[in-house]
Homo-oligomer: A and B are copies of this chain.
Amino acid sequence: MDDISSPVLVVDEDKCRRNIRHMAEKAAKTGVGFRPHFKTHQSQAIGRWFREAGVEKITVSSFSMAAYFAADGWKDIMVAFPVNIRETDRINQLAPTIRLGILLADEDALPALQQELKHPVDFYVKLDVGSHRTGYYFDETDRIAQLLSLAAQNPLLHFYGFVAHAGHAYHTQSLNEVHKIFRKGTEQLAQVTAQFKKQYPGIIASWGDTPTCSLESDFEGVDEIRPGNFVFYDLMQYHLASCDLEHIAMVVAAPVVARHKQRNEIVLYAGAVHLSKDSILLSDNEKVYGEVVRFTGKRWEPFSKPVYIDRLSQEHGIFFCPEEYWDQIMVGDLLGVIPVHSCLAADLLRRYYEINEGVFLP
C-alpha cells in the first residue's frame, strides 16, 4: 500500500462480491427481482462485479450517473429520483440507447414531460411509505388514478409500477422498529400495486433501502428490491445492525500527519472532503465521523478498543488515541477509516484501491 499517498477508497473485492452474492441469492430465493442501486459505488469497475453475479437491471440517482453506466453496457436503468423536468434533453439522449426508467412523485411534472419526451420510457410512481421525503401516500388513490390516466395520454410513457423507499429505516433504534417499518411499508406498497394491477396488469412493486433488505428474509408483496449501500456497508449500517463489522467492504485510507501527545490526539489526512460530514451518535451520545482501523497485510482490522474520529474539518480528521496504541501509530503511517456513510465518501473520492490485488481500479 506504499502507492497510497493521499485519501483514497480502499475496497476489499472479496467482501464486496460476497455482499453482492448474498443479496442476489436472497432475492432469487425469495423470488424477487434485484435492481441494486449504483449510487453507492458510482464505479463501472465495481458495477462489473454485479454483472458477474448475474445482475442485469440497476438503479441510479441521476441522469449523468445513468449515462456513465450506460457507457459501460448497462441496458436497463432506473433513475430513482423525482424526474427533473429541466433535464428532458438528457432523458431524450438516453432513452433511445437503453431501457430507461423515471420516477414520478408529483403530477405537476407531467405536462412538461408529455410535451418534450421524444422516446419511450418506463415510469414508476413514487409512494411515500412513511419517510416523508417525497411521493404519494398509499391512500391517495384518486390522485394516483388521475396521474395515471393523464400519463396514459402519451404512448411514450409506459407505467412500470410503484416504488417505495424506507428512508426512515435509517433512523431507527432497534431491529423491531426496522421490522415494523418494513411490514407497514411493504403492505402499503403491495396494497396500492394490487389495486392498480386490475387496470394496469403487469405492474410491479419495487422496494428499496439497505437496512430492511439486509435484515428481512421474506419480501411478501414485493416484486423487486433496490438496496445499494450493502455493497460496502458502513458504520451507520453496522450500528443499525444491518451488517457485522466483517461485512464492511470499504474504508478510506488516511495518512497520519501529526500526533499531539499533550492530549493524546492524532491528526489524519481525511476530512470533510473525503469522509463527508455525516455523523452518528454512539450509545453514550458521542458524535463520531468514522471508526479508525489499521491495515494488516491484505486486510484491515478495528482496534480492540474502538477508536473513532471525534472532529472533522475540511481536510483534517482527529481522533483520541488510547495510551496502549500511542506507540504503534507514527507520522507517515497509513490508517483506515470506516466512513459513517459510505455512499457520501465514495461520491467524494471516486478512486478505489483494491486491497487483495494491491491495485487501483480503472
Contacts and interface: CB of A to CB of B under 8 A. Distances in A.
A6 B332 contact: no
A262 B143 CA distance: 12
Chief secondary structure at chain A's binding surface? mixed
B5 A332 contact: no
A318 B344 CA distance: 18
A188 B330 CA distance: 28
Interface string A1-44: 00011100000000000000000000000000000000100000
A246 interface: no
A61 B272 CA distance: 13
A137 B261 CA distance: 12
A128 B265 CA distance: 13
A105 B109 CA distance: 54
Contact of A81 (B63, B257, B334): B257
| Size category, A interface | 35 or more
B105 A258 contact: yes
Interface stretch (A146-154, A292-300, A308-316): A308-316
Interface in A301-322: 311, 313-316, 318
B133 A86 contact: no
A331 B85 contact: yes
A257 B84 contact: yes
A197 interface: no
A267 B343 CA distance: 21
B258 A134 contact: yes
Contacts of A260: 106, 128, 134
A245 interface: no
Contacts of A90: 5
Nearest to A267: B134
Given A106-B257, A278-B277, A315-B62, A84 B347 contact: no
Interface in A70-90: 81-87, 89-90
A348 interface: yes
A259 B344 contact: no
Interface of A: 4-6, 39, 61-64, 81-87, 89-90, 105-106, 108-109, 112, 128, 132-135, 137, 167, 255, 257-260, 262-263, 265, 267, 269, 272-273, 276-279, 311, 313-316, 318, 330-332, 334, 343-344, 347-348
